[in-house]
Amino acid sequence: MGKLSVGVLGATGTVGQKLITLLDEHPFFEVRELVASERSAQKPYREACNWKQETFIPRAVAELVVKSTDEPLESKILFSGLDSSVAGPVEENYAKAGHIVISNSKNHRMEPDVPLVIPEVNHDHLDLTKVQKRKGALITNSNCSTMFLAMVLAPIQREFGIEAVHVTTMQAVTGAGYPGVASMDILGNVIPYIASEEEKMESETLKILGTLAGDHVIPADFKVSAQCNRVAVYDGHTETLSIKLRKRATPADLRACLEAFRGLPQELRLPTAPERPIIVFDEVDRPQPARDVWKERGMAACVGRIRPCPVFDVKMVIMGHNTIRGAAGAAILNGETYLKKGYLD
């Protein structure tokens, strides 16, 4: 069986470039169509793109001519790294035309019939694509800071139950896209505001950890309070959590629960799936972005400093790669899961 032709929407942007990098020589997918703004359309990709990745532009895509967002496409699956300012109608139009659009953008995440998916956690929510009134379908992955929070809370919720969560983030500059935050604003500084970030963490987490009920998801029944900050770190979002549990548990109990966590991507041995979706550190000063962000090729949530909390029950530090597991890698893993679960059959 040959590789499935896929397209990348927003191919010249930060997430689009990362998608192209991760899809190079992918065993299931082959990038054959690239889409970007009118400014880039009708140019070879190597000319249209201001490439900012650590590797060279893959030869397979360098000479592909970039298409505009209003051109018809042939690829069944489209991975979208479009900016939220344009993603909404473009993704909707392609889904209505019969494409499976797997989006990294915020625009459709909270729509009742659109699955917001972390395959290890809620792959069953992909069933929402069967009730969508589109010829194709829309699938989304979460905000980058939500990704690691929801991954870590999922096994805790299942085993011990959760009543409340307080999370404070220290988010890397790459989360702002290129060119990101002005150097004179971020160097030697902490910016205690990221537009809409706190609201996204508080709502998306509950949808991901909610229960599928036919044509919608019933959100999880606990509260999340988020405070979000931009810090002078290149890659890797760090988050500090305090969690109030429904059942009594020790830090050792939580450590064992998180360490044992696996999901469908690990069972299916999907190519982008980490062998260990959650890595737990015993060192008192880990995880650290500079040392741990590339664990499991950037696809793991890293956890450390699990300890009692005098206000809630337990507190910990989590960290993950915001542009890999928090963005492009998450979208590709959703595509692999969708394919291998037989939705395209």
Torsion of CA 164, 155, 337, 20, to 10 degrees: 70
The active-site residue out of 108, 123, 125, 237 is 237
Give the pairing type, strands 223-231 and 190-191.
antiparallel
Chain centroid offset of residue 167 CA: 18
| Contact partners, residue 267, CB within 8 Å, separation at least 6 | none
Give the whole-angstrom CA distance, residue 80 versus residue 166.
31
Distance of CA 332 to the CA centre of its chain: 9
Active site residue 26: no
Distances from the Cα of 157 to the Cαs of 205, 213, 259, 327, in angstroms?
12, 18, 14, 24
Nearest to 316 by CA among 326, 302, 327: 302
Q: How far apart are CA 118 and CA 126, in angstroms?
A: 10
The string over 218-247, giving b where at least 16 C-beta atoms fall within 10 Å of a residue's C-beta and e elsewhere, is eebebebebebebbbbebbbbbbbbbbbee
Crossing angle of helices 144-160 and 251-260, rounded to 10°: 110
Q: Is 219 in a helix, a strand, or coil?
A: coil
Which of 144, 166, 228, 321 is labelled catalytic? Answer: 144
Q: Would you tell me how many other CB atoms lie within 10 Å of the CB of residue 198? A: 18
144 part of the active site: yes
- Could you give the angle at which helices 197-208 and 144-160 cross, rounded to 10 degrees? 40
Alpha-carbon span 95 to 101, nearest angstrom: 6
Q: Which residues are catalytic?
A: 144, 237
